[in-house]
Each structure stands twice: as structure tokens, then as C-alpha cells.
Amino acid sequence: MSRVLAFDFGASSDRAILGTYEKGELSYQEVHRFENNPRDKDGHFRWDFEELMANVRLGAQKAGTVDSLAFDTWGVDFGLLDAEGRLLEDPVHYRDQRTAGLVEEAFKSLPAGELYRATGTQILNINSLYQLLALRQQEPQLWEKVHRLLFMPDLFAWALCGAQACETTVASTSQLLDPCSRSWSQQVLSAFHIPQELFAPLVKSGTVVGEYQGAKVIAAAGHDTQCAVAALPIPGKDAAFLSCGTWSLLGCELDQPVLTDQSRELGLSNEIGANGKVNYLKNIIGLWLIQESRRQWRREGQEYSYADLERLALEAQPLRSFIDPDAPEFAPPGDIPDRVRDFCRRTGQPIPETVGQVMRCIYESLALKYRFALGQLTLATGKSFSTLHVLGGGTKDGLLCRMTAACTGIPVIAGPVEATALGNILIQLKALGRLGSIAQGRELIARTEKVTRYEPQDHASWEASYQVYQDMLHHTNF
């Protein structure tokens, strides 16, 4: 029997999941759940690292004796250590506004086409590269003290066992890694005068990096999307995936990165998967729109459960008005419902006034953006997709899954719900020698985990709306 502990960090809620593997069977249970509460501190929006680490240690205590543990988190963010190995400050949140305007400024040192060919990463102002440029430009005194950068999953591992390592999947979100050589891009480091010594040694997913209270500390796929994709139940050759949580990442597995100008213009990204393949994907703002809308209504004194919001959306008129989820105004925290109304007003659409109308607009816009992203993947790869596998928390949202199937016209296979934690567990079991490969782990997931299949219904009614949606995206230049 092997007992492994997966720490799965999301942007708002985090869990410690204990996996037990015995006689070819896998079981798992949540042993600790805790909130992730970023806050404004010292002029920036930050993660509360001390509070998160207190919960990590509590989760490990609740789990008891385990053979190993590993972390997966969101991408791009990092912590900074000084020469004595001390954390200099709480890590800055990717939604902080310090990188505003830096993408265009960076192009003066390395044009967009060259930057994309060097890294294959969708050019977004949240990427680690621009966060680093902001740090050096805006806080030179702090920059002088920095000795080592650790991405978030590696930072948690360091805090437990002192290891300084950089796991490849999370590094591939940074806009600093060469996806062909799987090493730091010398072109990018040189263009922006970033010393390579800033980064810990790169390690592959599934590397044992240290020990904590007798348990091996393993660098799993540090980026949670890659953990989720690792638990994809035996995908067919024409399958796409949608890792659906606070962010939606829609993509497919490829053997080689796509580094063309077309790929860059389509906003597609090449990330390294736990199995060594390239996860070619589109970053789309996802359930954040629903989560932050709910928080806004709570701030206004109106409390709605997610079930309430889904019910109100169902009661609203369908296919009435749409947003681009990736319009820049939807990224920061705040009054998302008012921004939805303003977007519709500016684009000449009916303005959603009620809670149900706002929610219907968000749900339908997400489904339409997923279809749009599938079309972009097809354009860039020449692949046609016959199924869409939805992984993670979004699998519990039946309305979104049904809308996505109806809008795309292909079946949606939803599950497993705990894909990210399961992928983390599978990678640990492989590192411990209990599984031979990620493919074997996927076979285990396909055999034991429940999935729900949604067939396309009423696809024709979405066709006219999709044409309207495409025109809207074209005219708003998002």
C-alpha cells in the first residue's frame, strides 16, 4: 500500500487530498480544505504565504504518515529568496496591476514574433517575464536583494524541505522557457538582462526533491492544468480537453510545439505536460466570472448559492447578449456584473439587468468562447475534434457542460471532478514506482472514475448566435 498526499491549490480554495493505492485500486479523500485569501499589502495584491503554509502543515498533520507529498498551483506567480535563503516578501498575485503597459514596452527589446518563437507562450501581461520586468523597474532596491526565484509549487516545497528546484511544467507558463530544448531561453534572458542564476535547477515532473517528516517531497506537475490533463481518461486521438476552474484552459496534446506567427496571433500557448508532450492550449477566463459576480452580490447584501445562480440563469431569456470573457476589464477583482452590463451597452446589445440575465450572459459567453477556441486550435493544427473532455471543478456545472456541447456540436465528456488532485496523485505514484507511466495512470482513472457524457442538443439554435459572437469579437479586437 502507498499513501500519498496531494496539495491542490486554487485561486480561492485549496485542499489536501490523501490518496491510497493498494492492490491496483485507488481511493482518495479530502483531509483538509482551506480558503486562499489574497489581500492588499505593501502596495500590491499578494498571496498570504504564511497562512497558506500553516494550512499545509495542518493538512500534513491530518493526513498522518504518508510516503510522499506534492504541490500543484496556478502558473506564472513566484516567490523571491535572498542569498541567505529567506523569503523576501509575500508573493505578488497575478491580478496585481504592476505589469500594466509592460508587454508593449518589452517588444522594444524583443519583438512579439521573436519572443513567441523563443517561448511558445501566449503573450499575457500576467506572465512571469513581465512580473520580473515590473519588479526590476519599479522596486530596484528589492531586485538587488533577490538571489533566487521559485515558482509557487516549488516555493511550497522549499518551505517544507529546503529544496530549491524548478519543475518544468510550471516553468513553461513563465514566457522564459524554450519549449523545444526544455531549458531557459537564452535569447529571452539575454534580451531582458535576466541572469540564469536567478532560477533553481530545472527538474522533470515526478522528481523527488527532498523529504518532510519521513515523506518524500515530489515535484509533481507544478502547474495544476498539467496535473488535470495527466488524469485525462484515455483520450482519443481527436479529443480536446478543457481544464475548467477559475481559469479555463482549452487545448490538445501534441508531440511538438507550434511556434508560428499564426499561433501567436491566435493567442495559443505551448506548455509542457507531465508526460512530456506539449499541451497546446488557449487561456480563457473561466469560472472567475461567476465566482467574482457572486462575491459582488454578497458585498451588496445578496447571498446566492451556485445552484441559485444556475437556476436564475435557466429562467432568463436565452442567447440575448454576450461578452468576451477575456476582455481586459473582466480580469481584476470587483463589480463583474456592472462590467458585463457596460460591455453589452458599449457593443450595442440588450443590457442584462437582473441577476439571471447577467448569469445567462456569462454562461453562454463562456460556451461561445470555448467554441471559438476550438476553431482556433483546428486552424493552427489542422486537427478536427470529435469530443471535448471537461476536467476539474467545471464538471460539476451541468448547465455549462450542456451549453458547451450544444454550442460546439460535439459531445462533452465531463470528469473526473478531482482531475487535478488525481493527476498529482498519479504522478507521485509513478515517482514511487507504483505506476509505470502516465498512460497507465489514465487507464486506472478511466476504470475507476465516473464521467458524464453530454450530447449536443439544439445545436442549430446556437449557429446564428455564434456568427454574431464572432462578429463582435472581430469588431472589439479582443
- Around Cβ 156, how many Cβ atoms within 10 Å? 25
- pTM score, two decimals? 0.92
> Within its chain, how far is the Cα of 167 from the centroid?
16
> Within its chain, how far is the Cα of 314 from the centroid?
27
Which pLDDT band holds residue 236 (cuts at 50, 70, 90)? confident
pLDDT of residue 11: 78
pLDDT tens-digit map of 394-403: 898 999 999 9
| Cell (9 digits) for 345 | 451597452
Q: Does 478 score more than 70 pLDDT?
A: no
Task: Give catalytic residue positions.
Answer: 224
Q: Cβ contacts of residue 390 below 8 Å, gap of 6+?
A: 241, 242, 244, 401, 404, 412, 413, 414, 415
pLDDT of residue 391: 94
Give the residue-averaged pLDDT of 168-182: 98
pLDDT of residue 69: 98
Q: Does 477 score more than 70 pLDDT?
A: no
d(CA 213, CA 65): 9
Task: Report the SS3 class of residue 27.
Answer: strand
d(CA 257, CA 136): 30
Query: Contact 283/247 with Cβ under 8 angstroms?
Result: yes
d(CA 382, CA 385): 10
d(CA 184, CA 171): 9
Which pLDDT band holds residue 296 (cuts at 50, 70, 90)? very high
pLDDT of residue 120: 98
The CA-atom distances, in angstroms, between 308 and each of 21, 313, 319, 384, 395 are 38, 9, 20, 36, 17
DSSP states of 242-291: EEESSEEEEEEEESS----HHHHHTTEEEEE-TTS-EEEEEEEE-THHHH
DSSP states of 174-217: TT-EETTTTEE-HHHHHHTT--GGGBPPEE-TTEEEEEETTEEE
Give the residue-averaged pLDDT of 150-155: 98
d(CA 330, CA 434): 44
d(CA 87, CA 246): 27
Give the residue-averaged pLDDT of 294-321: 97
Q: Does 12 score more than 90 pLDDT?
A: no
pLDDT tens-digit map of 320-358: 999 999 999 999 999 999 999 999 999 999 999 999 999
Give the residue-averaged pLDDT of 417-444: 96
pLDDT tens-digit map of 356-415: 999 999 999 999 999 999 999 999 999 999 999 999 888 989 999 999 999 999 999 999
